[in-house]
Amino acid sequence: MALPDHYERPSLEGGDSFVSFTEPVRLSPLGAFLRPEPGHDVTDHDASAETLLYNRPTWHPENLDVVAVKEESNMQYHKDTPKRAKIFHLRDWVWEITAAVFSLTCLVAIIIVLRTHQEKSLASWHFVYDITLNTLVALLSTLSRTALIVPVASCISQLKWIHLVSSPRPLRELQIFDDASRGPWGSLELIWRLHFRTKLATWGALITIVSLTMGPLSQQLLSYPSRLTFRESGATFYRAQVYDSGGSRGDGIGANKDVRMDPKMQGAILNGLYNLSSPVQIECQTGNCQWDPYTTLAIASKCENVSSATEVDCTYEGRMYHCNYISPGGFDVHAYSLMAAANGWATRFNSTARTPSRDEGPLTSNLVLFAAVNALEPYSMEAPDVTECEMRWVAQSVQNTTVINGTFHPGITQNFELNYLDNPDLMDTFSVSNEATTFPGNRSFATFSNDNSEIMGFLKGLFSSTITDPFGLALQNSTDLSETMAMISDSMTYAMGHGPSGIELPGQTIITEQYIRVNWGWIGLPIGERWRAGIQKT
């Protein structure tokens, strides 16, 4: 290439060297004047500078200085070793770390809420705007899942560069990684196409796919079974330590005696006699209640068939046929029959009773004793059915008293015999027999004297009757006299509890409620996902 006419050859003064024409040179403006440095390839010189030299319309010597400076800068760049850049900058991952922490916070919030409310009544759950527990868990689960996808997607995007530079890869794998960072379908394609060749990316893809199940499976955390629960309100029963109707007052002597039997007690006796099934007066607001064991003053009965042990003596007196029955208890009962041409009649039922007398000595716990003779078919006057019964004061221990579906169940009762003590201040007092060492409550009981006497008198009249009397007809029609006497006794016991001297006995209402049950096994999936995401992020 010819040099310009005005170009002057550089001087070699000062020890400067000049290019030798015997050395191989590049056919370029730069190669014509510069010897290649050892270890430096002139082909790496700035192409733009070379182009600039070619395109200069007029070549001036001062341009060589500019070119020399550029060449020196390029050679210095190639000689300097670049510093190693940091692989991880925390500020580059602030968004992903924040999302991961938020996801973990939502999961911890779910655990805290469930741990706080497990086994509690569903009715105890209250939240703003009446949001249900299921809704809150679903909301927190959705937020946690959404936040979890952010760092997972970023990690998959970052892993594609590691995957591509590790060895020669087809460019289509770049698109596979991009698709995997965008959602479950791309993640599934990554697993299918790369066949687990990139383990961390596959792990992230699995997290993305499995995260789809977090919403539905979070609902499996909660179930609401039913259970019976007890509340200390809404259930009331009654018992008696003392029986005083308040209706019999006076000194009990002569004209000053003003005795009236308690009409409630009288009604209770007749309810039991006629099997009227009068409902027991209790309070049970829910229809299901229970009471703790308690003790009460009660009345007990006992009947025994003594037909085989009864002495029967029948004789004729003209047309009158007369039978006399003497029971083992000393009761003398009579029966008659009259044979006539036109008609006749005969005793079909007869009973006689006796009560303790204050004039005959100290009272006992007995209220009444009686014997009943039934000569109605299939029995006869010569071979009647004879039953002896008694009613007495007892101390009663009761357990498992309940109301179930509105039906009263008296529970298990145990009777303890009472001994009569004395009559202070017109009160007949009793004490549990010393032989009863297992009695659980207060061993002292009492009845107002006039009430005790009136009950005795009424029962004596009731059980001293014939078939022509209303009471006698009811007794004769009873298919099970023992059961009838038991109903009378129970009815009288409940009446005493509801009297003026009765004691209120609070119980527990039983209700069926739904409660919160946490199935902790289902929490393993979201915990496992966050653990895997943490490993992938690390």
From its phi and psi, is residue 39 left (phi > 0), alpha (psi between -120 and 50) or beta? left
Domain ranges of the chain: 14-73, 91-225+519-537, 235-511
Q: pLDDT tens digit string along 117-153?
A: 999 999 999 999 889 999 999 899 889 888 887 887 7
Q: pLDDT tens digit string along 325-367?
A: 999 999 999 888 887 655 667 788 899 999 988 777 677 899 9
- Give the chain's residues under pLDDT 50: 1-61, 63-64, 66-67, 69-70, 77-82, 85, 251-256, 536
Q: Please, are residues 346 and 335 in contact by the beta-carbon 8 Å criterion? A: yes
Q: Whole-angstrom Cα distance, residue 449 to residue 244?
A: 9
Inter-helix orientation angle 481-497/263-273, to 10°: 150
* Helix, strand, coil percentages for the chain (3-state, nearest 5): 40, 25, 35
Pairing assessment for the beta strands 503-506 and 235-239 based on DSSP bridges: antiparallel
Q: What are φ and ψ of residue 42, in 5° steps?
A: -70, -15
- In angstroms, the first-to-last Cα distance of the chain is 62
Which pLDDT score, from 0 to 100, does residue 473 have? Answer: 87
Q: Pull the structure tokens for residue 66.
A: 């500019």
Which pLDDT score, from 0 to 100, does residue 151 have? Answer: 81
**Which stretches of 47-183 are DSSP H helices?**
47-55, 62-79, 94-117, 133-166, 172-180
| Cis preceding-peptide flag for 424 (omega within 30 of 0) | no
Which pLDDT score, from 0 to 100, does residue 16 have? Answer: 44
Which pLDDT score, from 0 to 100, does residue 161 have? Answer: 76
Q: Whole-angstrom Cα distance, residue 106 to residue 514?
A: 26
Which pLDDT score, from 0 to 100, does residue 284 have? Answer: 93
pTM listed for this prediction: 0.63
Q: Please, are residues 424 and 310 in contact by the beta-carbon 8 Å criterion? A: no
